[in-house]
Structure 1
């Protein structure tokens, strides 16, 4: 993180630089590169990352959980893990669910604390929702591969519930990975229509040409689909092979594909921000529970 180096490989020494503070300093309106692009953001490694988001957790001693108030019957069934909420609607309409011994087919029916809900003869007991943020190290994967260490092993002791990763991450990618038993949140953040921002630091096998940086900024076609990038810049005080890139796709393979499309090999890919969550205070290979406010923030993201 304290490497020194870099060159003036861009035009007129107008470089774009990546800031862990999470914002681009636009500078004066007339300060542009020779090609007319503005890249004024700084990525200072000695600063606390992403101060803009006030990312220091208020407390991580206890997991954030949902409050046990009245809950819609379809959500109650879905939270038990037997099916999705949409499927729960169908089962309820078909008379497969009883509450306190009575068949309930009413859509929107709310279950109260202490009610006994039975699905196909099985008493349901929805788990409290747990949210765990892992700073995944290299060599662990979310794939079901007996030849690769499972990332789940790193958070297994966080809860007695079975936690699943939100999205996929291969063994060579490092950084933030969220685990939870909240099926709705998993579905939300793995949906292609979900547009939360992810921030990566990318280490390349050679310096990224400034013209290629601008190509990525304006959009690169991958499999005939244009991939839009929110922000991209060089990492300050490091070689031009160190790049910060911010985009909305949840597929880390797309990040690699962007650079490979232009003839670069990705040596290291580190997800340093995920949907407003950062690595602040989480060492590589360690995890923490999300705070209640962080869970609320995730639920409110569109």
Structure 2
């Protein structure tokens, strides 16, 4: 190769190669970096906002990007329209005003045995219902409502705060059926009196139905009501002079104990979740 050829080749390589690399770098990074720097809300920790929204079950990541761009999403009270924005688990993320949970919603139904506390651990060595569902999910679920330590029956767990709040304070109550064992036979007159509604602390507690259980002594009673007040069933019978020896919740909303042995749990079906949301 001649001197002119070498010189020409060197000149070509230096200008064109270097120019192309510089141009490619500018195209690849420059439009993104300034955009991130200009936003005072951006952070580098946590997870992408679209993933957070998708994890909550609202929509897919691609759809989440569309909603973000449209201004449907706020983080800690500020509307975010930036693609790639990151949030932390403790951030208040809302979609159309509704606070989201970054975990996939989980719904577990337990047939609680007696001897397990629903909240807290007030006695040394006492066990809680969380032990019974600990292997069902890695999500942080909580029980909806309460059952006494010695009470048995259906107990719902979820990390869906919106549904839990709705079920805890339903406008018209939530259907519940209990099988109750009393310390003595109940008279027909007392049964009819409870059916008409019992007054507790000045308020009438309506009872949907109450009856003796077929082929059982009159110490065995079935009662259906919608009140979610604490200890309500025990208080109803105590007001009539009876002590409750055993309490078993056999229906909660539209959920039953069918094919669910004592101490076992199962995940709700999609239709069951939809039905609960309509209560």
TM-score between both structures, scaled by the size of structure 2: 0.68
Aligned equivalents of 2:276, 2:222: Cα separation in 1: 23
Aligned equivalents of 1:219, 1:244: Cα separation in 2: 15
Larger helix proportion of the pair: 2
CA shift for structure 1 position 98 = 3.5
**1:167 — aligned with what?**
145
* Structure whose CA Rg is larger: 2
- Residues 1:247 and 2:216 are matched in the alignment: no
- Residues 1:118 and 2:81 are matched in the alignment: no
Residues 178 and 240 (structure 1), Cα distance of their counterparts in 2 relative to 1, 3 Å cut = same
CA shift for structure 1 position 194 = 4.4
8 Å contact from structure 2 (residues 89, 102) kept in 1: no
Aligned equivalents of 1:258, 1:100: Cα separation in 2: 56
CA shift for structure 1 position 193 = 2.7
CA shift for structure 1 position 118 = 2.6
CA shift for structure 1 position 246 = 0.3
Structure showing greater relative contact order (alpha-carbon pairs closer than 8 Å, 6 or more residues apart): 1
Aligned equivalents of 1:116, 1:189: Cα separation in 2: 34
**1:141 — aligned with what?**
117
8 Å contact from structure 2 (residues 109, 268) kept in 1: yes
CA shift for structure 1 position 131 = 0.2
RMSD: 2.7
Q: Which of 156, 161, 164 is 1:178 aligned to?
A: 156
Residues 100 and 229 (structure 1), Cα distance of their counterparts in 2 relative to 1, 3 Å cut = same
Aligned equivalents of 1:120, 1:296: Cα separation in 2: 26
CA offsets per residue over residues 190-220 of structure 1, 9 Å max, x none? Answer: 1153422000000000111000000000011
TM-score between both structures, scaled by the size of structure 1: 0.63
1:247-286 aligned at under 5 Å gives the runs 247-286=225-264
**2:80 — aligned with what?**
98
**1:210 — aligned with what?**
188
Q: Runs of 5+ in structure 2 lacking a partner?
A: 1-55, 94-100
- Residues 1:132 and 2:131 are matched in the alignment: no
Residues 98 and 233 (structure 1), Cα distance of their counterparts in 2 relative to 1, 3 Å cut = same
Aligned equivalents of 1:277, 1:297: Cα separation in 2: 10
Aligned residues: 208
8 Å contact from structure 1 (residues 98, 119) kept in 2: no
8 Å contact from structure 1 (residues 117, 123) kept in 2: no
